[in-house]
Structure 1
């Protein structure tokens, strides 16, 4: 078989991806992907703007790519061989789909004549990811002729455009290949006909803006800012909030906490007052960002009958509270800028009332003197450097951060809040650590166990990731759930202690290690740049400490 056609079309594939802004490639080794991997490696060697990472575990690789794309706001390409290797991508794809992260998946495949016929390493890869991807296509890289060559060039560019089009998400290119698989590395890339796409509608019309302005003017407006990984509208949202005296209930992943109009401890308030005090009730709710971490906030939203506006084209009607009454399907930053320019300053004591409750809650929190799972969050808030990145595992860590992180410094908090899984956390954080700056990961022992392979990428590429592991020997969140009442089978089915020796884990991956038992030791370990910090905890004691805190807060605010 002529390898000239294969070589030129692989070049066209890569050139098309690069032409649409791809700079990062994450490859997992395999035989069927040989021609693409070899030509890609040659192209990367000759181009300082391209970056290639190799991860032998496809599941880890996909989360690693997710971490790059989430934190750097760029499309990332994944490449793997055929068979179950491609199936390993699915958990990260599900997360990317729900959190709107642009990934381009290149899965090489056996040719048609080797499918469903008993050939080795051949599974049905057409539409392998189903509804978890925005679009899926099949590309024939070994078909000769100018028409197919043009199609490869066009479709490779189109894949990136679709991934980046709002709502963003993963796309799939399946690439069946016949042997021989070795390309000609002496062939130069052919000329590419580039594809340009005009941006979609970004702003409101004059009539739309006038109507929204009328709905909001003079009202007690409550802003709910959910998780948001881009920084495009944070500044203007704060400006609008300050100008109109509108409080912002800011999810920890909105990265807005620490400013005077932001209310950080609303989840604790809702534990004490599930319906909110009368003086805090709004007339209108304005939502931006994704679904908040706080289930109590979503439950409160579900009971509202007032107008709820969801701004943004990325997450149209992604609202499981069913409270949204209108979607403002335009760019958030542009809409908020339009509102700021057209709404006058408003004098209102509504914000002041929220601030009073926030101050009372903060003043009622116990002093940070002993190390536990709650004070760990408060100490990290005090100790981590400004402008650093903190990746937070799902399950208990993200909930405690939502409750106890005030935002004393401007930092970027990141979490996989699309599908909310605890798999792939280490790998995603490692992907985050490819970006400039200081990087930290807060994770539990079970989530670490799920993705210890991700530590190999930290070691292999010497990534600047400091890992803080809360080791309560099992699934700590279940101790807060009704399952805890099933005492006869609780440890077997839900507690699931693994008895991990985390010092040995750190040693295996050549990471400096320290176990800390006090806040002073934690501060010292962070200051000394220890790579792997273990914080011991007890699940039962942790529940008791959380319950004692709620009793303390309820007593402090009982007059309300």
Structure 2
């Protein structure tokens, strides 16, 4: 049984031809033709998620893992807008999503018909392409729709960006057929890679060889071939004139890389930075988490800033000093361009000396610190996470804490929604991720992020080995940490969200296993069995409300 709407049949056949099989559906009436067609089609895997915002982030979590497009379908009206935050996240994180929205016929928009808004091009610059299909089922109408769908889906695949397909449906919506009535043309696209010719970069070649202070900084980035990229960077890290700074979201690790940037420079004064700042800054990826490195690179910039990466419409001039943009795959660039003899320099040694000093001081601080604070708790949790598992990180403070942790990162894949860096959708993304892969997925999340997205637990696809560690400090501390000025408590009440909530009732409602701890002994005991097999997903809530968490973290970083 299939929908008798030819436009839906064509969409299904085009998706099948391009090996796109995961369809996330939020219930509705206007998208009934899509629901009927895809749930009855043997080639597609369909999932029902009621809350459209959760559904869109659920899809993002799947696409994040499989690195292929995932389809989201919703009804018309405000349901479409509920997907907006996930679409913007996918756009900036370069995650391929296909949002198929059902719409009312154009003639009844703005005549006070229910669930009708201006859906055409609603996502504007936050999608790679937005197409408005037609209900015309003539030969020319079908050809027009097929061309647009092929073109937009190919762009989604090639550029790893979300797209929007808006389909108007007139009633009747529920009519079916047992036979396909269309045979759409499939337009294939072939990915190609940019290449750089030696004659075009002789000046940059000379500059690279000449200068003895070079910094490679990696932000949010998904390497096409992780092992290959790490091997290239490891070879580069042997050059004494090069330091490689990596953030958690770069997904690359190496013993000679500097992966805890904030630990190194949080307490650094401008004079010290001037002695260590690079002559050449080479950046890969986007959205650096460390506020301090951004401050120093903007205030005291390098002589040259080169950015490497494809598909940027606007120049990624994060530090306001971009001198060269290379629109090429970073792995290919580094392999071609940086294959030169090492430059004589003591640059890396200076950074390594600073790192050793900081590690010693921070270890001493942690040994001395006895409070049951976010810092102590999270470090205990990070150490306990099983190898060869997947870690999803909440935004705000959680991902910043993980940036400070050096151990075991080589054996744990970690993810965080740093495209737009919002707290909405952290739980839903983790649930989608856990559903699609066989490995154990652990979400570490703050209280505000968890409660904000708690509807994520309202679906039937959460695996039994999914784990959530909830750090409940009674309202979040991000603004106390990042604020440079001491503000009155009355003002802080509008930055923070103080509360007395617990996740216990939420876990009971969704039939989850639940445990709450408020001291180090109970935490250690709970972590000893937390990841063992169970018949239900497990949430561990850690209460750190009694500690001055922001103050303790600042002390740690200043030590």
TM-score (norm 2): 0.90
| Cα deviation code 1:56-111 (max 9, x no counterpart) | 11011011111112222111111011111111111111111222221111110111
Structure 1 76/527 Cα, relative in aligned 2: closer, same or farther at 3 Å? closer
Deviation for aligned residue 1:277: 4.3
Q: How does 1:58-137 map to 2 (within 5 A)?
A: 58-137=52-131
Q: In structure 1, the residue corresponding to 2:120 is in which secondary structure?
A: coil
Is residue 248–residue 262 contact of structure 1 (8 Å, CA) maintained in 2? yes
Structure 1 506/5 Cα, relative in aligned 2: closer, same or farther at 3 Å? closer
Is residue 307–residue 324 contact of structure 1 (8 Å, CA) maintained in 2? yes
2:179 and 2:110 map into 1 onto residues whose CA distance is 35
Structure 1 357/110 Cα, relative in aligned 2: closer, same or farther at 3 Å? same
Is 1:325–2:319 an aligned residue pair?
no
Aligned counterpart in structure 1 of residue 10 of structure 2, from 12, 36, 43: 12
Q: Which residue of 2 aligns with 1:300?
A: 296
2:47 and 2:223 map into 1 onto residues whose CA distance is 24
2:531 and 2:390 map into 1 onto residues whose CA distance is 16
Flag structure 2 segments of 5+ consecutive residues without an equivalent. none
Is residue 3–residue 177 contact of structure 2 (8 Å, CA) maintained in 1? no
Q: Which residue of 2 aligns with 1:350?
A: 347
1:149 and 1:347 map into 2 onto residues whose CA distance is 65
2:531 and 2:140 map into 1 onto residues whose CA distance is 60
Q: In structure 2, the residue corresponding to 1:262 is in which secondary structure?
A: coil
Q: How does 1:252-401 map to 2 (within 5 A)?
A: 252-257=248-253, 259-275=254-270, 276-277=272-273, 279-303=275-299, 304-315=301-312, 317-340=315-338, 342-346=339-343, 348-365=345-362, 366-367=365-366, 370=370, 371-401=372-402
Is 1:196–2:183 an aligned residue pair?
no
Out of 412-421 and 402-411, give the one that drifted further: 402-411
Q: Which residue of 2 aligns with 1:30?
A: 28
Is residue 243–residue 346 contact of structure 1 (8 Å, CA) maintained in 2? no
Deviation for aligned residue 1:288: 0.7
Q: Which residue of 2 aligns with 1:468?
A: 469
Deviation for aligned residue 1:428: 0.9
Is residue 445–residue 469 contact of structure 1 (8 Å, CA) maintained in 2? yes
Is residue 377–residue 404 contact of structure 1 (8 Å, CA) maintained in 2? no
Q: In structure 2, the residue corresponding to 1:260 is in which secondary structure?
A: coil
2:3 and 2:531 map into 1 onto residues whose CA distance is 56
Structure 1 438/199 Cα, relative in aligned 2: closer, same or farther at 3 Å? same
Q: Which residue of 2 aligns with 1:165?
A: 158
Q: In structure 2, the residue corresponding to 1:272 is in which secondary structure?
A: coil
2:64 and 2:3 map into 1 onto residues whose CA distance is 35
Q: In structure 2, the residue corresponding to 1:118 is in which secondary structure?
A: coil
Deviation for aligned residue 1:138: 0.9
2:420 and 2:479 map into 1 onto residues whose CA distance is 18
Aligned length: 540
Q: In structure 1, the residue corresponding to 2:152 is in which secondary structure?
A: helix
Q: Which residue of 2 aligns with 1:538?
A: 545
Q: What's the Cα RMSD here?
A: 2.4
1:51 and 1:398 map into 2 onto residues whose CA distance is 32
TM-score (norm 1): 0.90
Is residue 119–residue 166 contact of structure 2 (8 Å, CA) maintained in 1? yes
Q: In structure 1, the residue corresponding to 2:495 is in which secondary structure?
A: helix
Is residue 8–residue 187 contact of structure 1 (8 Å, CA) maintained in 2? no
Q: Which residue of 2 aligns with 1:556?
A: none
Is residue 21–residue 75 contact of structure 1 (8 Å, CA) maintained in 2? no
Is 1:148–2:144 an aligned residue pair?
no
Structure 1 337/21 Cα, relative in aligned 2: closer, same or farther at 3 Å? farther
Aligned counterpart in structure 2 of residue 547 of structure 1, from 527, 551, 554: 554
